[in-house]
Structure 1
Amino acid sequence: MTLGVIMLVHNSLDRATQVANHWVAAGCSVVIHVDAAVDRKTFRAFKAGFDGNENVQFSKRHKCEWGMWGLVAATQSASELILKSYPDVRHVYLSSGSCLPLRPVAELIAYLDERPQVDFIESATTSDVPWTVGGLDEERFIFRFPFSWKRQRFLFDKYVDLQRRIKFKRRIPQGLVPHMGSQWWCLTRQTLSAILEDPDRDAYDRYFKKVWIPDESYFQSLARLYSKTIESRSLTLSKFDFQGKPHIFYDDHLQLLRRSDCFVARKIWPKAGRLYEAFLTDADTQMRKVEPNPAKIDRIFAKAVERRTIGRAGLYMQSRFLDQHWENGVTSAQYSVFQGFAELFEDFESWLTKATDCRVHGHLFAPDRAEFSGGEKVLNGVLTDSAKLRDYNSQAFLTNLIWNTRGERQCFQYGPRDSQANNWLMAKDPNAQISVISGAWAVPLFKSNRNFSDLRKEAARLQKAEADFLDVLRSPWAKARVRIWTMAEFVEAPMEPLQSVIDEIAHSATRRLSEAPRMTDLKGFGQFLQNLKNQGMHPYLMGDFPVGPADFNETKPPRRPYLVQ
């Protein structure tokens, strides 16, 4: 009998009974500590289940609360009892009622017998551990923590703030270097007895009683004073999420736990009957006799933490609507935004659909409705063309549209007449490709039959809206792929910019464009701009348009050929 097991139990006593009997059946001595919060009737019934079993004893009960001294006191009492009652015990394994042996206990005993002087306890200085949560690492050893973090959070926080303001600092006992690590250790008799019988134990106990979460530092620090050989790792598999809460293992984690090759795991869900049935067996060939290697499953847990904290790119839902700047990608797929193209070219949407095989929408953020491709009323994800519903949360409208149409590139028209609520969202989205012909918004005004005074006011409003959008696109925080042309430079040579846009968004390799979409008639457009200037409105976003009979739509006479020798 070389292995003794301490079990700290506070609930699910039926499962604790199963596990304790499993340890005893393998030849281990077991000392059980039952939380003082468990009522006496329940405790008596639990204890009665071990009557007559000399290898199971119960230690003095303490009230155990997370982060408080009671857990250390409970471990001390159980350790003293197991060392006193079972002199043949060479290693003491600390576990909880929710721990479950994953490999035959005989393998664990053999493993420890081969390492009789080795203490397995995770023990690292505060500067070397990355897992502390809440900003209290060194402070937990120099401040006092008399209040419960769970029950007295207000007092806990206020007392910490007070100590920070007055720069309070406790004196650490001489010769002691605080270390931290997992609560679940396996110590040799020599090291454990040296800790419990230390002549300075009272001083150490007084100090650690006011340390925050002392069960993760008491034995971890004192073991450094007495151990001959420490392997700073725990033989118990325990995983924690990004908030410092332990992962709970369920039935569907069976194969995952087998792959870990660890001796013991926590925390097991009490109703995971399949796990208890699979692992509480006497099969000597249940698992391979290999070195415990929890790193085998670290990748899976890291992926789970990443998925929980970052999520999938562009996915937002009722249960997980992240704060701005916390999202993992604004949208889930690439999409294209065209501003000014539909105003400059006739039937541009149909031409773009044929050229790229993408789904091309009209103005999705038009004032009256969302102009879905083909005049549809409802799109994937039950997105309707209602402007009222769209504008209730226009950013969610766009991100949902991209998410629900994954696998098919979306293109849509945009302009200063549309809702501008998504300007920053699109500009900061690496998935967005935004192409702008600045000043093209003036073409519909030019072709309209409205009073010129009204046109001037509308032109000033649209130019201000587009200028603001261009400032956003030129911001150093913009991550979208942005192309901006003035209307004058675009209509002078439209093929090259159209080709560059098509090359990027087409599904397959495209040939050189043989012709551009039909451009609207711009005859007299230059004079229209001059009239706006004459009325006191300066249209500067279009570039330099000629005023007079020469227009961009007019056919220019071909130049005379010449020979270069």
Structure 2
Amino acid sequence: MSVGFVMLCHTALDRVAQVARHWAEQGCPVVIHVDSRVRPRELRDMKKSLDDMRKLIRFSPRYRCEWGGWNLVAATQAASQMMLRQFPGVRHVYLTSGACLPLRPAADLVAYLNERPETDFIESVMTEEVGWTIGGLNIERFRLFFPFSWRRNRRVFDIATRMQQRLGVRRRIPQGIVPHLGSQWWCLTRKTLLAILDSPERVRHDRYFRRVWIPDESYFQTLVRRYSTDVESRSLTLFKFDFQGKPHIFYDDHLSLLRRSDCFVARKAWAHADRLYDHFLSPAVAEDQRSDPNPGRIDRLFSAAKERRVRGRAGLYMQSRFPVSNFENGRTAMPYSVLQGFAELMPDFPDWLTTMTETRVHGHLFGPERVEFAGGQSVFRGGLSDSAKLRDYNPKSFLTSLIWNTRPRRQCFMFGPADNQTLNGFMAADPNAQISIVSGAWAVPLYRSGLPFSDIRREAARLQRVEMEFLDLLEQHWVKARVRIWPLATFLDKPTEPLQTIIEEIAPRLRPRLTSAPNLVDLTGFGQFLQDLRNQGMQPMVMGDYPANDIFHNPDRQVRPHLVS
């Protein structure tokens, strides 16, 4: 075979031995580096399990490796030198980790490389062109000093970096070196590797890169540009990173996804993914006929997974990943309607709206006494209780849970100034909210309550103040809800037009037309009632120009349905 594998490992040595045996049985030499932190007994057990493969499997000198440290490069150098010296027939060296899983037979890889005998496969991008680095450092990796570990001393690392940037510290980049970055998992030709490892300038290069941040992502990626004559800037290993720069881990349920990629090796596989290892290390895989590696086939799925993880689902709030306020992906899951003042004027309005729009219409979900679910239910879908105390513990979660649990059916509910007003700002900023208000309609139940007039006046002043605050809120520039407001007098003058507008917005697909209308309550004497409030020192301001006579009680002005074209 013309390809040899270098494996860097520190955990799951049983899987490392299994993969190394898989490659060796196909005639490919393997050199394994085991981190010096691994206990001697574990290493002895691993070597013993591979005793019968001594001709093709070797163990390189051990280094204590840390994330982003120079020893990762040193371990790679030592293992690669052993590979090149002890296996002269190797034309390409393929660098992998202990968590890498072969996806295709070694014969496929050999055939692929034989067609490209002079090509080096390594992701190598100039720092100015890199857009995927995590940590905000690109060219600074090569021009600053990094004496502290980013993993173990994050705070000290950041302070030292900022101080050097403020003081204008700039390391001199060696002549002939053009910094490049890329993945540390590569496949290089013998010629290029020998040029790097046997270079008379290696001491100078090594001394410089020892103090570069994360040298395993830049050492070979930079030097290959100096010595190679044919670089293909991509890796033959399938690897994906999340938005935090952490590698995706492949599990058993990723089997079909990995098969679709047609890549030669995947990183990184879960050590306990028995189904993955049993399938891809089986000789039966050799019967498959596949095309060139094409990880782009599954990029869309990873992009969608990243989007789902970062943004979540619209309107879904989970205890496992509660979003930061105002950064959620949609405040609620579905459009919903908030209707204020209609039930006070038309007692059968909820039933009528249910019939006209085929939606679920609740009463006052945020009423002071209880949650008025549709149908008078005490427990609604998703285990939501009608307890006002439980609802008021977290009104936002109550509303978002209701909308999420009932999707895709639209929810409508009554609202008023006597209800809990905690969510006014939340609903006003929600693009899914449709808020329709008949301002001043709250006075009709007060007029019909039979309470002492002094109590009515105080309550009317309080409710008007609450409603005016809500109306002022809805006029703010940041409001995203669809808002329609009709003063009481305007609504009563032509009630059919607002009703038609509401049902069309709630059920646009049905294209409903008013064939029936709810009946208005008896408003005999209501105009005089408002005048009495004025006479007692309370000024009604949200009813519009409501006359003192009983003009709106005239039978000719009752709601009469008619077609609106």
**TM class by smaller structure:** over 0.9
Aligned to 2:251: 250
Distance verdict in 2 for CA 1:359–1:51, change over 3 Å = closer
Q: Structure 2 matches for 1:257-406, cutoff 5 A?
A: 257-283=258-284, 285-406=286-407
* 3-state DSSP of counterpart to 2:96: strand
Contact 2:62 2:75 in 1 (8 A): yes
Q: Contact 2:503–2:512 at 8 Å: present in 1 too?
A: no
Runs ≥4 in structure 1, deviation > 6 angstroms? none
CA contact (8 A) 2:523 2:550 kept: no
Distance across 2 between alignment mates of 1:125 and 1:342: 67
How far did residue 155 of structure 1 move? 2.2
In the alignment, the residues of structure 2 paired with residue 194 and residue 153 of structure 1 have an alpha-carbon distance, to the nearest angstrom, of 36
Instruction: Please state whether the residue corresponding to 1:41 is helix, strand or coil.
Output: helix
CA gap 1:514/1:100 in 2 versus in 1, 3 angstroms: closer
1:371-520 equivalences under 5 Å are: 371-506=372-507, 509-520=510-521
Structure 1 match to 2:560? none
RMSD between superposed Cα atoms in Å = 2.0
Instruction: Tell me, yes or no, if the aligned pair for 1:261 and 1:287 is still in contact at 8 Å.
Output: no
Offset at 1:281?
3.2
Equivalent position of 2:30 in the other structure: 30
- Provide the C-alpha distance between the structure 2 equivalents of 1:174 and 1:438, rounded to a whole number of angstroms: 77
How has the CA–CA distance of structure 1 residues 138 and 544 changed in structure 2, closer, same or farther, with 3 Å as cutoff? farther
> For the structure 1 residues 225 and 446, does the alpha-carbon distance in structure 2 shift closer, same or farther, using more than 3 Å as the test?
same
Alignment partners' CA distance in 2, 1:313 and 1:180: 37
Question: Could you give the per-residue CA deviations for residues 469-510 of structure 1, whole angstroms, max 9, x where no partner exists?
Answer: 223322222222221111111110010110111122237525
TM-score, structure 2 as length reference:
0.94
Q: Please tell me whether the aligned partners of residues 13 and 46 of structure 1 are also in contact (alpha carbons under 8 angstroms).
A: yes
CA deviation digits over 1:349-382, x for unaligned, max 9?
A: 1222222222211111011111112221111111
Q: Provide structure 1 residue ranges, at least 5 long, that are not aligned to the other structure.
A: 558-565
Change in 2 beyond 3 A, CA 1:201/1:406: same
Q: 1:145 and 2:139 equivalent?
A: no
In structure 2, C-alpha distance between the alignment counterparts of 1:34 and 1:325, rounded to whole Å = 47
Task: Work out whether residues 23 and 29 of structure 1, in 8 Å CA contact, stay in contact via their aligned partners in 2.
Answer: yes
- What is the match of residue 561 of structure 2? none
Q: Which residue of 1 aligns with 2:46?
A: 46
Specify the code of the residue in structure 2 equivalent to 1:29.
Answer: P
TM-score (norm 1): 0.94
- Return the letter of the residue paired with 1:11: T
Distance 1:454 1:210, change over 3 A: farther
Cα shift at 1:556? 5.3
Aligned-partner SS, 1:516: coil
Q: Is the 8 A contact 1:524 1:551 kept in 2?
A: no
1:193-233 C-alpha deviation (Å, 9 max, x unpaired): 11222333223222222222211111111111111111111
1:54-84 deviation line (CA, Å, top 9, x unaligned): 2222211111111211111111111122122
Amino acid at match of 1:332: A
Cα distance in 2, alignment partners of residues 545 and 374 from structure 1? 35
Q: How far apart are residue 418 of structure 1 and its match?
A: 0.6
User: Which whole-Å CA distance do the structure 2 matches of 1:244 and 1:255 have between them?
Assistant: 24
Give the residue type in structure 2 aligned to 1:35: D
Helix, strand or coil for the counterpart of 1:32?
Answer: strand
CA distance in 2, matches of 1:451, 1:134: 69
Q: SS in structure 2 opposite 1:71?
A: helix
Report deviation, 1:513.
Answer: 1.0
**CA, structure 1 residues 430+42, in 2 after alignment: closer, same or farther (shift >3 Å)?**
same
Residue 210 in 1 paired to residue 211 in 2? yes
Q: Give the superposition deviation at 1:43.
A: 2.0
Give the C-alpha shift of residue 450 in structure 1.
3.0
- Separation in structure 2 between the aligned mates of residue 160 and residue 465 of structure 1, nearest angstrom: 54
Alpha-carbon offset, residue 511 of structure 1:
4.6
Report the identity percentage. 61
Deviates more, 1:282-291 or 1:186-195: 282-291
Using the TM superposition, give the Cα deviation of residue 414 of structure 1 relative to its aligned residue in structure 2, in angstroms. Answer: 0.4
Q: Aligned in 2, Cα 1:460/1:160: closer, same or farther, shift over 3 Å?
A: farther
- Answer yes or no: is 1:201 the counterpart of 2:202: yes
1:8 aligns with 2:8: yes
Query: For the structure 1 residues 281 and 346, does the alpha-carbon distance in structure 2 shift closer, same or farther, using more than 3 Å as the test?
Result: closer
Distance 1:155 1:287 in 2: 52
| Aligned residues of 1:522 and 1:551 also touching (Cα < 8 A) | no
AA of the residue aligned to 1:200: E
Q: Deviations over 1:427-470 (max 9, x none)?
A: 22222211111121222222233343333332222222212222
Output the amino acid matched with 1:116.
P
Moved more, 64-73 or 170-179: 170-179
Asked if structure 1 preserves the Cα contact closer than 8 Å seen for 2:104 and 2:286, the reply is no
**C-alpha displacement of 1:176:** 1.9
Match of 1:226 in 2: 227
Distance 1:163 1:516 in 2: 75
Distance 1:430 1:346 in 2: 29
Q: Distance between the aligned counterparts of 1:352 and 1:224, measured in 2?
A: 71
**Partner amino acid, structure 1, of 2:494:** A
2:33 match: secondary structure: strand
- Number of matched residues? 557
Residue 562 of structure 2: aligned partner: none
The residue that corresponds to 1:74 in the other structure is 75
1:95-128 deviation line (CA, Å, top 9, x unaligned): 1111111111011011111101111001112332
| Cα separation, 2, equivalents of 1:20 and 1:327 | 46
Matched with 2:106 is: 105
Report the CA distance between 1:539 and its aligned residue.
Answer: 2.2
- DSSP-derived class of the 1:95 partner: strand
Measured in 2, the distance between the counterparts of 1:227 and 1:64 equals 27
Letter in 1 for 2:70: W
Q: Which amino acid aligns with 1:302?
A: S
* Corresponding letter in the other structure for 1:530: Q
Q: Secondary structure at the match of 2:287?
A: coil
Q: Summarize the alignment of residues 76-225 of structure 1 with structure 2, pairs less than 5 Å apart.
A: 76-225=77-226
Flag the 1:367–1:276 CA change in 2: closer, same or farther, 3 A. same
Distance 1:530 1:197 in 2: 101
Retained in 2: the 8 A contact 1:103–1:286?
A: no
**Equivalent pair of 2:357/2:512 in contact (CA under 8 Å):** no
Q: 1:527 to 1:207 in 2, by over 3 A?
A: farther
In 1, the alpha carbon distance for the partners of 2:211 and 2:416 equals: 64
Alignment check: 8 A CA contact 1:104 1:283 kept: no
